[in-house]
Structure 1
C-alpha cells in the first residue's frame, strides 16, 4: 500500500464528499429548480463534461446499474446549464465549509493548505484520466474556500479514474465493486446504500456471477480470493493516486498534513 496516498485520501476525502455529506450543496442545486437528489448528483458531478450523452457519463462514472444514468442525463440540462450547476455546487460547498470550520476558513493556515492542495491537484498528467481532465479544464477559483474544495474535487476524481482502472485490471464490474465494498465492510449486498434499491433478481444475478468466479463464497460473504482482489484493487488505486503529491517537497507535505488533519476531523464530526 502506498502509505502517503492512503493518508492523503483519508484527509482529502472529507472535503471531497461535501456535496454528498452536507445540506448546503443540495440546497444550492435545488434553488436551480431540481426536486430530486439524484438529479443534483448527476448535474453537479457531470457538469464539467458538458452536454455529453448518457452513454458517456455511464462509462465514466462506471458503477451505476443499466439505465440509471439515462434517467437523469441529459434530462437535467432542461433544468439548468453545466456552468450554473458548477457554480451552485461550489457555492453550496463553500457555505458548508464555512459553517463547519468557522473562522478557520479566514486563517492564513487555511489559505496555505488550499494553495498546497491546489498545487498537488493541478500537477498530475491528465492522460487516461477523463473525469480529472474535465475538472482540470475549469479555472481554479480565487476564494480560499472554493479553492480548497476545487482541489479536493480534482484529487477525488483523479483517484476515481485510477480506481476504475484498477477495477478493470481485476475484471470487476461497477455493481460488483459495490458488492466487494459492502461485503468487505461486513454488510450484506442488499443492505448497501448503492445496491439496496436494485430489483432483487438483478442484484442476485450480480452476486451469483461473482460466486461463479470464486469471489463470493457459498455463505454469501467474500471468499479468500474475493478479499485478495479487493486488496489488490485498493493497493493499485493508492499507487495510481500518488502522483499529484510528488509536486510537493517533503516539508510542504508535512505542512499540508498538519493543516489538513484538524479540518478533516471537524468535517468528519459534522458528517456524524
Structure 2
C-alpha cells in the first residue's frame, strides 16, 4: 500500500526541478555552443533549443506549444532558424551547453556525487508515469534518448517533468479563458511570475499589449486599479495551480511520497548551489 502524497508535494518537487532545467537558457555556454552552429540571436536560440525536439517545425506549432509568445515574434525566427542549423545540430549543441553549464554551476565533485546519481534515478522513475497524449512538448522530448551521464540524465528527466506539467498547464489556462498576455499579467501579479520588463523583452508584447490585458482582467474583476489581484483573481490563480497539479499528479504518485520527498530534497540542494553560482539574472522574477 502506497503512502498518499502530501498536498502540493508534486508542485514543490516541480518547483525545484524546473529551475535546474532552466539554468542553460541563461548560460553563456548555450550562447557559445549555438553560435558555433550559426545561431547568434538570443530569441532565435530559445525557440530553436526548446522546439528542436519536435523537428523543423514552423511558427504556428511553436506559438501553440509555447503559448505566451507573440506569434509575429516567433515568425521572425522560424522556420528561418532551421536553415541555419538543423534540429539535430541544435539538440547536440544544447546537450553540450547543459553539460558545461551544470559542471560550471555545480562543480565536478557534485557532478560525480552519489546524490546526483540518486536524484537522476528518482526523477527518471517519476517520468515512467508521464503520458504523451495531448502533451506535444513532453512527447517530443520523451522520444529523445536518455543520456548516460547522471547529471545529464537528471537534466533530461527534469525537462520531461517540466514539459509534462507545462502542457497540462496550458490546457488549464485555456479553460480559464486567459489569453497569453492575460496569463502573463495575472501570474506576475502573484509575485511569482516573470517581472514585466522581462516578459516584455522576451515574449514580444508591447507595453500597450500589457496594459490592455490588465484592463481586460480588471473588467473581469480579477485585477484591481493598482494592478494587484483581487480576491477573485487570487482564487483563480490558486485554482489554476491546483488543476495543473491534478493533471500532473501521475509521475509523483508513481514515485511515491518518500521518493518525492527525497527528490525534492536533493534537487533543492543542487538548485541552491546553482543559485549561489549565479545561475539566474537578478530581478527576473517579481512585479518590478
Q: Could you tell me the TM-score, scaled by structure 2's length?
A: 0.87
Q: Do structure 1's residue 62 and structure 2's residue 67 form an aligned pair?
A: yes
Matches within 5 A, 1:41-80: 41-80=46-85
Counterpart-to-counterpart distance in 1, 2:144 and 2:78: 21
Note the 1:105-124 alignment, pairs <5 A.
105-124=111-130
Report the Cα offset of residue 186 of structure 1: 8.6
Paired residues, number: 271
> What is the distance in 1 between the residues matched to 2:225 and 2:266?
47
2:91 paired with 1:86: yes
Matched residue SS, 1:64: coil
- Deviation, 1:184, is 1.8
> Residues 49-75 of structure 1, C-alpha deviation per residue, up to 9 Å, x if partnerless?
112221111111111123121111111
Give the aligned partner of residue 198 of structure 2: 193
**Farther off after superposition, 179-188 or 12-21:** 179-188
Which of 145, 149, 156 pairs up with 1:139? 145
Structure 2 unmatched runs, 5+: 1-5, 281-288
User: What runs of 5+ residues in structure 1 fail to find an aligned partner?
Assistant: none
Say which SS state the counterpart of residue 194 (structure 1) adopts.
Answer: helix
Whether 1:266 and 2:273 are equivalent positions in the alignment is: yes
Q: TM-score, normalised by structure 1?
A: 0.91
Q: Is 2:190 aligned against 1:184?
A: yes
Residue deviations 1:160-212 (CA, integer Å, cap 9, x gap): 111111111211111111101222219998x3411256333333222222222
Moved more, 53-62 or 15-24: 15-24
Q: Which residue of 1 aligns with 2:134?
A: 128
Partner of 1:252: 259
